[in-house]
């Protein structure tokens, strides 16, 4: 079994955890723990982003900003599986890998400005944050949705998560300028913080198995005692895939 741990009991830097049965799913058949460990968080984020937040339909275009990392490793094949046309911005190292994965277009962020060449996009997923907001919004078609994983929560996010009245007010205020800017262009801003969901993870697993999706794993390996070093590497990079912490006694492959 595997899981993205529920937020109210998060803490995966541990040899054992007790997890609500509703949060777990069977690991993809024939996958090692090493590869499977890279799937739940990014796979669920991609699934919830594309299906729940964007409500994307086959044939529509999805632009993923900063899609050359671990999120893109799952989001691109899942979006392709759901019938979307995918465009990615990312680093030069990942270009060939993502084109081979089925991205229709790949823009190297150090050489190409997507906001100068793209327009009329149905959906954008942004992994970069607030500094990208205006440019991301500009390439969307009217009626399109911009979903960010980083820019920050807004009113819709608070309502969808059934937060307390106080939190609703705070998040409404925090996201007001993004909501207003999007509304002015007849577009919509959404924010996502991935949640645990065993039924959705089961569906992600089915997509992974059917499409033989193998997310990239960074070659560095860390023990639990080296968790600080692992986090430093994630923060400072460069990384090439998910950074794993190996538990004592867990087989490498
Ligand atoms: N809200 C949520 O629920 C949620 C869920 C999952 C992830 N996230 C967040 O989403 C972000 C991405 O996650 P990840 O795991 O995919 O990270 P990652 O593996 O570090 O990938 C980020 C990728 O973006 C590239 N990049 C950097 N600057 C860029 C730019 N200006 N334009 C285009 N690409 C650029 C990086 O290339 P270089 O190697 O050149 O830096 C890297 O390939 C993180 O901040 C993570 O915390 C949020």
Instruction: List the residue whose alpha carbon is closest to atom 13 of ligand 1.
Output: 71
Instruction: List the residue whose alpha carbon is closest to atom 24 of ligand 1.
Output: 66
How sure is the predictor about 213, in pLDDT bands with cuts at 50, 70 and 90? very high
Q: Is the peptide bond before 75 cis (omega within 30 degrees of 0)?
A: no
pLDDT tens digits for range 87-129: 999 999 999 999 999 999 999 999 999 999 999 999 999 999 9
Distance 166 CA to ligand 1 centre (A): 31
pLDDT tens digits for range 49-72: 999 999 999 999 999 999 999 999
Answering whether pTM is above 0.95, one says: yes
In angstroms, the Cα distances linking 99 to 16, 61, 107 are 38, 15, 10
| Helices and strands in the chain: count of H runs, count of E runs | 10, 10
Mean pLDDT of the chain: 96
**Pocket (CB within 6 angstroms of ligand 1):** 41-42, 45, 65-66, 68-72, 89-91, 94, 109, 127-128, 149-150, 192-194, 237-239
What domains can you pick out in the chain, each with its CATH number?
A: 2-38+198-246 (3.90.180.10), 57-191 (3.40.50.720)
Tell me the average pLDDT across 73-99.
97
pLDDT beyond 80 at 230: yes
Residue from 12, 44, 46, 68 whose mutation best tests the ligand 1 pocket (most atoms within 8 A of CB): 68
Contacting residues for 154 by C-beta, under 8 A, at least 6 apart:
171, 172, 174, 175, 176, 178, 179, 189, 190, 191
8: its two tokens: 């109210």
Q: What percent of the chain has pLDDT over 70?
A: 99
Whole-angstrom Cα distance, residue 71 to residue 165? 32
pLDDT tens digits for range 154-199: 999 999 999 999 999 999 999 999 999 999 999 999 999 999 999 9
Beta bridge partners of 105: 87
Distance 115 CA to ligand 1 centre (A): 18
Q: What percent of the chain has pLDDT over 90?
A: 94
How sure is the predictor about 218, in pLDDT bands with cuts at 50, 70 and 90? very high
Tell me the average pLDDT across 7-34.
93
Pair 67, 75: CB distance under 8 Å? yes
> Kind of pairing, strands 242-246 and 188-191?
unpaired
> Length of the chain in residues, anyone?
253
179: its two tokens: 């909501």
Beta bridge partners of 90: 108
Instruction: List the residue whose alpha carbon is closest to atom 48 of ligand 1.
Output: 149
Query: Counting atoms of ligand 1 from 1, which one is nearest the CA of 42?
Result: 6
Helix (H, G, I), strand (E, B) or coil at 59: coil
Tell me the average pLDDT across 124-152.
98
Distance 71 CA to ligand 1 centre (A): 7
Radius of gyration of the chain, Cα coordinates, nearest whole angstrom: 18
pLDDT tens digits for range 98-108: 999 999 999 99
Pair 35, 214: CB distance under 8 Å? yes
């Amino acid at each position: 079994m595997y899981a993205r741990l529920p937020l109210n009991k998060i803490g995966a830097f541990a040899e054992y955890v007790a997890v609500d049965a509703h949060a777990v799913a069977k690991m993809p058949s024939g996958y090692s723990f090493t590869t499977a460990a890279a799937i739940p968080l990014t796979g669920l984020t991609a699934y919830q982003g594309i299906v729940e937040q964007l409500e994307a339909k086959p044939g529509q275009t999805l632009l993923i900003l900063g899609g050359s990392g671990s999120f893109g490793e799952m989001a691109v094949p899942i979006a392709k599986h759901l019938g979307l046309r995918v465009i990615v911005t990312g680093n030069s190292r990942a270009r060939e890998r993502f084109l081979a994965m089925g991205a229709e277009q790949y823009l190297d962020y150090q050489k190409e400005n997507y906001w100068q060449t793209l327009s009329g996009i149905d959906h954008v997923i942004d992994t970069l944050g607030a500094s990208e907001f205006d440019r991301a919004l500009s390439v969307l078609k009217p009626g399109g949705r911009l979903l960010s994983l980083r820019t920050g929560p807004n009113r819709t996010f608070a309502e969808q998560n059934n937060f307390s009245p106080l939190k609703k007010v705070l998040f409404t205020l925090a996201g007001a300028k993004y909501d207003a800017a999007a509304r002015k262009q007849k577009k919509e801003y959404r924010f996502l913080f991935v949640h645990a969901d065993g039924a959705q993870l089961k569906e992600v697993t089915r997509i992974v198995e059917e499409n033989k999706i193998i997310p990239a794993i960074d070659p560095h390996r860390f023990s639990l005692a080296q968790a600080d070093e692992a986090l430093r590497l994630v923060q400072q990079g460069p990384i090439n895939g998910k950074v794993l912490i190996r538990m004592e006694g867990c087989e490498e492959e």
